Structure 1
C-alpha cells in the first residue's frame, strides 16, 4: 500500500512533466498552445512559411525522437499499452526504467510536432515503468510487481485525465485482466494520490467541457443502440486500418529505423496541410464537433482523416496513444449520426451532442473491448451523468458486436501480429506448450449427486485433491464439489443446509484435453480446490484430472 502511494505520487509528477513537455514542444513547432484550435493559421515563429510549416514540423520532430527511441528504448515506439500488457502477462511485470524518460520525450516531441496520437498510451507506459522500477528496487514478488505496474498505469491515467475511477478500471480491466480486492485497493491508492497531484496542477474540472445533454424521448434508446452497433464496426475498422498502414510503411521503408519517422513525417505533413485539424491530439476539434460546429460531410472527412493521420503517425515509428484518436473518431461518427437522425426524426432525435458523447465511448469499447473502462472514463472525462443509461447501452452493444467482428482488440492485435498470445506461454517458456491430455492425471472416482454431506466429507478427506467431480443418477457430469464447500455447508444450521452433495456442485471453467497447458493454467488458477476435471472435446465428459502438481511434472518431463 505504501509503494502504491509512492508510485501514485511519481506518476502524478510524471504526468505534469509530460503535459508540460507536450505544450512546450507544440509551441516550439507550431507557435500555438494547441494548433488544432487554430487550424490553418501561420506559425508566428516562421510567418513567411504560412500554413506550409506543417510539412516540415513532423520531419524535424522525427529527426529528434527517431534516433532517441532507436538508440535507448525501442519499446517506446508505438502506442505503449500493448507493451505494458505483455510485460504483465509474460515478463513478470519487468519494464526497463529507461522507458519512462524516453517515452516522455519521444511522445511529447511526436505530438508537439504534429503527430496525431493521444497521450494516454505514453502516460500508461511511463507510470508502469515507474511502478516496475520501484518494485524491483524493493525486491517484491512477481505477483506484487505486476500489481505495482498496474498501479503506475492507473495513476498515469488518473493524473492526466483527472479521472481516478477510470484509472483504476483501466488498470484492472486492460492491464491486469482481473479484479480482486487487493488490486482494487492498491490501484485506488495510487490513482487517488496521482489525482490529488494532478488536480493541484491542472485544477479540479472535467477534462472535456461539453454542454448538458438529456434523453427526452424513449425512442432515442433505439437510436443509441443502433449507434453502438455501428460504432463497433468503426472501432474494429480503425484497429485493422491502423495495422494495415503500419504494414504498408514496413514494406515501403528500406532505410535505417532511426530515420524512418523523419522520412515518413513528410507524408504526415501532407495530411496536416489538407486537414490541419489533425495536428496533435485534437481535443478542441472534438469539443467543437459535440457542440454542432461542423456539417455532417465534414465530420465524416475528419473521421477518415483521423484514421489516416493516426495510422501514419504510428506506422512511421511515432510514439503516442490510440485512446484519444478512438474518442475523436467516435465523436465525429456520433455527431454525423446525430445530424442524420435529427433530420429524419426531428421530434424525437434529441441533441446532436448526445450522440457524439455516446459515440466516443462506443468506438473506444469497440476498439479496446473494455466496457467498464469506457463507461467510467466517459463519465469522468465529461462529468455528464444524465446520459449514463444510453451510454451503457451503446457500449455494451459495441463490445458484443466487436467480439463477433474480431477476436482481437486494438491492443492485442499488435501483439498477435508479432506471434505473441497473451494467454499463451512466453516465447521459449518450458511450461505451457504441452497439451493438457498429455499431462493430466487419471480422473478420481466421481461422487454421485445423491451422496450425503457426511459421506462426501469422508471421501474428500481421503482423496488428496480438495475437490471431486460430481455426476447425476444417470452418470452424467454436472460439476465439481470442493472440500471447502462441504465444510461450510456442514457448519450451517441443519434446517438451512443442503443434505446432498449435488446441491453444492458447480462446473468450473471448461478445460479440454486438446487445449494447451498455458490456456488451461488460467482456469486452474481460478478454480477452487487443488485441481479440476479435464473434459473430452467432443462430448464434454470428464476424462482426466488436471492439478498444479501434474502441470509442474510437465516441466520435469522436458528436463
Structure 2
C-alpha cells in the first residue's frame, strides 16, 4: 500500500494540480505556525512582564525598575541555553538563511533546528528583545515547507516553490496582508516571478491569510487613521524623505554589523554569555525608553497617529537602532522587519514635524510622513520595495499615500542598493562569503573553481617538436590548441592551425621548423585556483574560445583546458535551475 502511494506521488510530483493542493496545505500549516509563534511570544510576555506583545508598553511601565532590568536578563539566559543545546552553530536564524537554502540547497532545511530557532526567537521577543518577529516566522514557515517537501521526495524545483509558499503564508499571516506576503516571497526568497511558481505561492498566501483571520480576526498589523495628502507640492518632500531614509537604513544595517564585529573581538566572554548581556541592554533601555523594546508595534502605531513630538521621535529612532544592533549582535533574537518599520516611522514622523513647522499650510500631518518613512526605510533594509509598498497600500487603502510611498521607496532603495548593499539579508550572506546578489547562477561563477568545468583531455608537444609532429597532433585532436611545454613541463606557448605559417605545410620543411619557432609565446592563461567568473572574464577579454589551465604560477604545469562553451553551459544550467526549471 505504501509503495502504491509513493508511486502515485512520484507520478504526480510534476503535476500542477497536486502542486496547488500542496500549496494550500503548506500555506495552512505555515499560517498556523505564524499564529503559534505569536502565542508563544505572548506566553513569555505574560510570564516576564504580565502583558501580551500588543500591550507590552502599557504593561511594562507599571513595573518597578528592577523588574524591567532583570526580566530580560532571565530571558537572555533561557535563549543562551536554547542556542547552546539545540542550534548547530549557536546563532539564531532568519530570512538570510532561507535565501541561502533556496539558492544553494534547493530549499533543504533542518526542521528540528528551525523549531528550536522559533522557540529561541519567541523567547527573546517575549522577554523584550528589540528584534522582529517576521524573520523567525519566515524561517519557520520555510522549514515547514521544506520538511514536507523532503518527506515527499519532491523535485528541487517544486521544493523551492513550496518554500516560497511557506514564506508567503508566514508574511501574509503576520501582517494580514496577502498581496505583500506573495510579493515578498517572490521578490526576496524565490527570486523570480515565473507563472509556475507565482500561482501556487498566491494560493498559499491566501491560505495563510484565511487562517490568520479565522483565529486572530480581520485586523491589520497597524491601526492607521484616515490620511490625506494636503498638496501635490509635497511630493518633492517625500522624495527628500526617501533620501534620508536611505541614509538612515544604511546606518541601521551598518550598526548591526559594527556591533557584531565588536562581539567577535570580545574574546573574554564565552558565546553563551552574550544573550544575557543583550538582556541587560534591553533592561537598561526599557527603564528610560520602553517604547523601543520588543517588536515595537505599539510605538509604530503611535507614530502613525502623530502622537509623538519631535524630540521623542528622534530619541526613539536612535534608541531603536542602537538596541536592535546590540540585541542582534548578542544573539538575543534576530529579525529586522519590525525594527525597520518602527525606525522608519520615527524618522518619517520627525521629518513631518519639521516640514509642518516650516510649511504649515501645504503639509500633511506627521502621520502621513510616518507612513511614507516606514515604507521607504523598510524597502531599503529588506531590499523589497514592491512588498513594502503593497504592505502600506493594504494597511491604508489610500492611493495617494501609496503614491508617496512609491516615490520615497524607489529613491531610498536605489540609493541603498548602489551606495551600500541590495538588502540587509544579502549583506549578511556576503559577510559569510556568499555573494548571492545576482542569484544562484552568479554565485556559481564566483564560488566554483576552473577545475570543476575544465576539460582534461589535451595534447602537448615539447618546444623541440618538428612542424610535422605539430601538424599531426592538431589533426588528431580536430584543431583547437596544442600546448607547447619546456623541458620542465611548464607551458611555453600554444599553437593552433591559425598560427601555422604557409611554409608549415611544405613537406621539405617537416623536420627543419620547430614548435618553438612558430608557437604563440606568453598566451593568456587561467590558474586552477581561479574561479569560473575570472575564467569567463579572461575568455571574453581575450576573445579566445578556450584557455590553458595551469597548476600554479610557479610550476605552470598544464592540467586542463577551460572552454568558453562549457562555462556558459554551467552558468545556463544554474540559471534555469534557480528559476525552477529542471
Report the TM-score, using the length of structure 2 for normalisation. 0.74
1:20 is aligned to: 39
Query: Could you tell me how far 1:435 is from its partner in structure 2?
Result: 9.9
| Deviation, structure 1 residue 81 | 0.4
Contact 2:229–2:363 (CA under 8 A) maintained in structure 1: no
Change (3 A) 1:436 1:142: closer
- CA 1:341 to 1:94, structure 2 compared with 1: closer, same or farther past 3 Å? same
Quick check: 1:164 aligned with 2:210? no
**TM-score, normalised via structure 1 length:** 0.77
| Pick aligned residue for 2:449 from 412, 426, 433 | 433
| SS of corresponding position for 2:331 | coil
Displacement of 1:259 in angstroms is 3.2
How far apart, in 1, do the equivalents of 2:62 and 2:196 lie? 52
Is the 8 Å Cα contact of residues 534 and 543 (structure 1) preserved in structure 2? Answer: no
1:230 partnered with 2:244: yes
- 2:66 is matched with 52
Q: Quote the offset at 1:430 in angstroms.
A: 12
Contact between 1:424 and 1:519, CA under 8 Å: does it hold in 2? no
For 2:122 and 2:447, how far apart are their aligned partners in 1?
A: 40
Tell me by how many angstroms 1:120 deviates. 0.4
Q: Write the distance in 1 (CA, Å) between the matches of 2:232 and 2:572.
A: 58
Structure 1 residue 40, shift from structure 2 partner: 5.5
Q: After TM superposition, give the deviation of residue 89 of structure 1 in Å.
A: 0.9
Give yes or no for the alignment of 1:2 onto 2:16: no
**What CA RMSD, in Å, does the superposition of the two structures yield over aligned residues?**
3.1
Q: Gapped runs of 5+ residues in structure 1?
A: 44-49, 440-512, 522-532
Cα deviation digits, residues 251-273 of structure 1 (max 9, x gap): 22533323321233213321222
Partner of 1:210: 224
| 2:453–2:566 Cα contact (<8 Å) kept | no
What aligned pairs does 1:110-509 form with structure 2 within 5 A after superposition? Answer: 110-422=124-436, 423=439, 432-434=448-450
Select 1:42's aligned residue among 54, 62, 81: 62
- Partner Cα separation in structure 1 for residue 393 and residue 40 of structure 2: 27
The SS at the match of 1:280 is coil
Larger Rg: 2
Q: Does the Cα contact within 8 Å between 1:300 and 1:336 map onto a contact in 2?
A: yes
Which runs of no fewer than 5 residues in structure 2 stay unpaired? Answer: 1-19, 456-525, 547-562, 574-582
The 2-side partners of 1:358 and 1:160 are apart by: 20
Aligned length: 463
- 1:170 and 1:373 in contact (8 A); partners too: yes
Cα separation, 1, equivalents of 2:190 and 2:72 = 35
Asked whether the 8 Å contact 1:425–1:431 carries over to 2, the reply is no
- Deviations 1:349-370 (CA, angstroms, capped at 9, x unpaired): 1121111000001001122221
CA 1:427–1:407 in structure 2 vs 1: closer, same or farther (change >3 Å)?
Answer: closer
Q: 3-state DSSP class of the match of 1:215?
A: coil
Correspondent of 1:31 among 45, 50, 56? 50
Q: Secondary structure at the match of 2:450?
A: coil
Q: Contact (CA 8 Å) 2:281, 2:323: kept in 1 or not?
A: no
Indicate conservation of the 8 Å contact 1:100/1:126, yes or no.
yes
State the partner residue of 2:96: 82
Q: Distance in 1 between matches of 2:445 and 2:229?
A: 53
Structure 1 pair 171–552 and aligned structure 2 pair: CA distance change class (3 A): closer
What is the SS of the residue equivalent to 2:386? helix
Report if aligned partners of 1:163, 1:195 keep a CA contact under 8 Å in 2.
yes
Quote the offset at 1:146 in angstroms.
Answer: 1.3
Q: Matched residues in 2 for 1:123 and 1:243: separation?
A: 22
| Deviation, structure 1 residue 61 | 0.6
d(CA) in 2 for partners of 1:128 and 1:77?
18
